[in-house]
Structure 1
Amino acid sequence: MKRAAVLLLSLLLLLSQTACLGLRQINELALVTAVGLDIGDKPDTVRVSVQIIRPADARGQTGAPSGGTGQPIYSISAEGSTIFDAIRNLGRFSSRRVYWAHNFVIVMHEDYAKKGIEEMVDFFTRNHELRMSSWVAVTPDRPDEVIATITGLEVVPGEAIDRLFRNNHIVGRAPASNMMNLEEAFLSSSTEPVLAKVSLKPRGISNKKPEEHGSLEQVELAGAAAFHGDKMVGWLNSKEARGLLFFLERLSSGIEVVRCPNNNSEKLSVEFKEARTKVTPSFPNNKPHFRIQIKTNADIVESGCGINLDQEVRLETQKKLENQLKQNIMSVIDKAQNNYHSDFMKFGDVFRNKYPTEWQSSKKNWDLMFAKATFDVEVKASIRSGVVKAVGTEIR
């Protein structure tokens, strides 16, 4: 009986010790939803900007609760010798401990990205609170302004950028870059990182001043930042980013505008769907060669041609769509080879998988070999029941 009482008492003590262990009250934390990184004003410093949500005021855009400010977010910045140093300096004027588990996005200024992102990748992958699904982007604008710009639909700007990324597969004008695939490319010997571009555009219309079109800045997700190693080497425009996505992701759909077959001054809107990409490497004369085959279905969703869309018109539209998609792909390959000398399209991955032995002797000089590689690009589109012979183009 005595032993049973001692055992029961011990169990009660254990339960009391484990209950609420590590509990953190929400009113004691600064919940970060977006992060901005930029070069500091002082030499060799970094500026960290964080967007902190106000739970009491984030319930809606109109009217604040009693005692609230009405502002759903609170944004602050601090500088330091390193990212961690800057974050610790945030504690000088943040009354709550910075908490990263709810962060949606990390936005870097292009000048910061051009200096190198190794420190950024190291810090945010070591931070156990940060989700590896957090989006990562580069901007030509001030990161602190980007993460603090409130859109007309979402209360929290970080959540608005998160939704832009989640719906990006519909538009297909930027890569869906997050910490997981950034770290994967950063550590890889066969591919280079590429991150989405976000920027501020005067696209919003004020309800109070509708005559002032574009009086409100909105965040736009379009284009990409190309890297070589840990340094950004340049931008890809939205058309080049569309060509890039055929190799990085499976595009569910996309819109291309082509000229009418009978009138070049009028246009057709064509939606392509279920694009399938196949890259076949070869190694003739110790020189990489890649055959790229893309097949897709498409629908004409808007016509300004003023003619019946008969079989002949559909076939001609298919040719125009094929040539336009091929041009986008050729453009991004040319820029990767000749402008940036960076294989961010994962051709090295494809070559390594088929030629593992040759890759061992080629990986140290892959940048030079990639610059001399040749490509055959074939695009085959099918609009309804129309069929057209694929057109091939070679890039040297």
Structure 2
Amino acid sequence: MSRRIVFLLLIIILNMSLSGCQSSNEINRLAIITAIGIDKADSQYRITAQIIIPSEISQKYSQGKSPVVVRTVTAPTIFEGIRTMSREATRKLYLSHVQVLVLGEEIARSGIKNIIDFISRDHELRTDFYILVAKNSTAYNILDTLTPIENIPANFIHDSIEVSKKVWGHTKEVQLDELIRILSFKGQSLVLAGIVETGEDEKGKDVRTLDKVSPPDLLRLQYLAAFKKDKLVGWLENDECKGYSYITSNIESTIETLEEFEKGNIALEIKEAKSKIKVELYEGMPIINVDIKAKASIGEIQIDMDLTKEDNINKIEKMAEDNIQRECRAVIKKAQEELNTDIFGFGEAIYRKHPKIWNDLKEDWSNRFKNITVNITVDVEIKQTGTTTMVLEEREME
């Protein structure tokens, strides 16, 4: 979607000289918004919009300025804030190309029900934008940061979510339809991607820093935001994010580093990790069984090990299974004991398998979830060992 926006804008700009003032007037009537941020401002809302400057994304017309402008207003309702911003921008706000909605941590902790009400009612907004939470920051700070790889920061955030899911497995793609579905059901709690600033905040607002080899401020997808009902209650970190993604079949590819070896490590690329959540009854109470199957290839090996021997392959597979087990158990423990929220959809699995039992549990599911038994089984199969089977050894010159 992001490339299509840029392509269309470039066509409009280049056609200005050919079609008289009609195209110019059309583009000058619109403020094309690619990202929206919402923060808490006492009892009001602070709404931030990232608006494209069409001339700055064209090599022909660019003057070396920022390709986007950030506008922000404070209002008692989001709807009023958007209208107020349109008046101040002297253009009609165009919301159909919004790619990301960023929520400040403070407002996420206070509840996002009213925000969802607005974005689900606005007829101009599409439903295919991603929703994130700014960790230890505001949505304004995130959207006011320039990015070196993509000249439009909203494109950078949008594409980073898709790439991160494919190569790392630590993030979560959530669009409006899924968010509404999860919030409307008591058997699963919401999880959103977290975004953080790294580096020097103020310098990240200066377009001149984009010319540097090492920009002073960057945006990074990190952590997962865990909700209870519509309120943020905590964060998943590092391997907890991976454990969550394994349990919920949210991994396309990730890395498992086996560190138990004294002389070095082994890095596995995990592919095609899939899980099945099954429900059994024991004395009338549900037990959750999570069965995870993953295929892997050896990406790096730092020790001397003959990979043609089946016993060595089996040893690596067992170590990978233990690693994944630990990651899954760690995130389950955090969800049950600290966050007290069912982010895995265990309640939904109970509802599908035993709807009558779920009817007895759903009103008190938060308390029941804390004590439910969860069994994890993991099966890792190494499909590829690479083009070599032995680590190269140093040899003395004779």
Which amino acid is 2:81 matched to?
A: A
Which of 184, 193, 197 aligns to 1:196? It is: 193
Alignment-derived partner of residue 56 in structure 1: 55
* CA drift at 1:169: 2.4
Equivalent residues in 2 for 1:30-179, closer than 5 Å: 30-40=31-41, 43-59=42-58, 65=61, 68=63, 70-140=65-135, 141-167=137-163, 168-179=165-176
Aligned equivalents of 2:225 and 2:250: distance in 1? 20
**Pick aligned residue for 2:283 from 268, 285, 288:** 285
Aligned: 1:221 with 2:221: yes
Listed as ranges, the gaps of 5+ residues in structure 1 are: 1-23, 387-396
Structure 1 residue 373 displacement after superposition: 0.4
- State the alpha-carbon separation in 2 of the partners of residues 360 and 264 from structure 1: 52
Q: Determine the structure 1 residue equivalent to 2:26.
A: 25
Residue 257 of structure 1: aligned partner: 257
> 1:287, 1:369 within 8 Å by CA — same for their partners in 2?
no
Quick one: distance in 1 between partners of 2:109 and 2:304?
49
Match of 2:237 in 1: 237
1:184 aligns with 2:184: no
C-alpha displacement at 1:123, in angstroms?
0.5
Task: Report how far residue 294 of structure 1 moved.
Answer: 0.7
- The change in CA–CA distance for 1:231 and 1:55 in structure 2 (over 3 A counts) is same
CA drift of 1:275 comes to 1.2
- In 2: Cα distance, 1:87 partner to 1:209 partner: 35
Corresponding position of 2:327? 328
> In the TM superposition, what is the alpha-carbon distance from 1:282 to its structure 2 partner?
1.5
Uncovered stretches (5+) of structure 2, i.e. residues with no partner: 1-24, 386-398
**For the Cα contact (< 8 Å) 1:51–1:73, is it kept in 2?**
yes
Query: Does the aligned pair in 2 maintain the 1:36–1:107 contact within 8 Å?
Result: yes
Tell me, yes or no, if structure 1 residue 275 matches structure 2 residue 273.
yes
Structure 1, 239-248 or 113-122: larger mean CA deviation? 239-248
2: CA distance, partners of 1:274 / 1:201: 31
Cα shift at 1:157: 0.4
Cross-structure match for 2:389: none
Give the whole-Å Cα distance in 2 for the aligned partners of 1:245 and 1:278: 12
Scaled by the length of structure 1, what TM-score is found? 0.83
**Matches of 1:358 and 1:119 in 2, distance apart?**
32
Letter in 1 for 2:228: H
Alignment of 1:295-374 (within 5 A): 295-309=293-307, 310-374=309-373
C-alpha separation in 1, matches of 2:61 and 2:383 = 55
Letter in 2 for 1:330: R
Distance, in Å, in 1 between the alignment partners of 2:281 and 2:134 is 38
Preserved contact between residue 224 and residue 238 of structure 1 (Cα < 8 Å): no
**Match of 1:266, SS?**
coil
Q: Percent identity?
A: 27
Q: Which residue of 2 aligns with 1:389?
A: none
User: 1:169-202: per-residue Cα shift (whole Å, max 9, x none)?
Assistant: 2211011122121111111122111111011123
User: TM-score when scaled to structure 2?
Assistant: 0.83
Letter in 2 for 1:126: R
1:253 deviates by 1.6
In the TM superposition, residue 166 of structure 1 has moved relative to its aligned partner by 1.7
Equivalent position amino acid for 1:293 in 2 = D
**Does the C-alpha gap of structure 1 residues 366 and 307 become closer, same or farther in structure 2, counting only changes over 3 Å?**
same
Whether the 8 Å contact between 1:175 and 1:241 is mirrored in structure 2 is no
Would the aligned equivalents of 2:134 and 2:195 in 1 still touch at CA under 8 Å? Answer: yes
Work out which of the two has the higher radius of gyration on C-alpha atoms and give 1 or 2. Answer: 1
1:207-240 Cα shifts (integer Å, max 9, x gaps): 8665xx5x42221112211111111100011321
Q: Matches of 2:225 and 2:48 in 1, distance apart?
A: 21
Q: Measure the CA separation in 2 of the matches of 1:194 and 1:209.
A: 35
Residues 1:148 and 1:207: Cα distance change in structure 2 (over 3 Å): closer
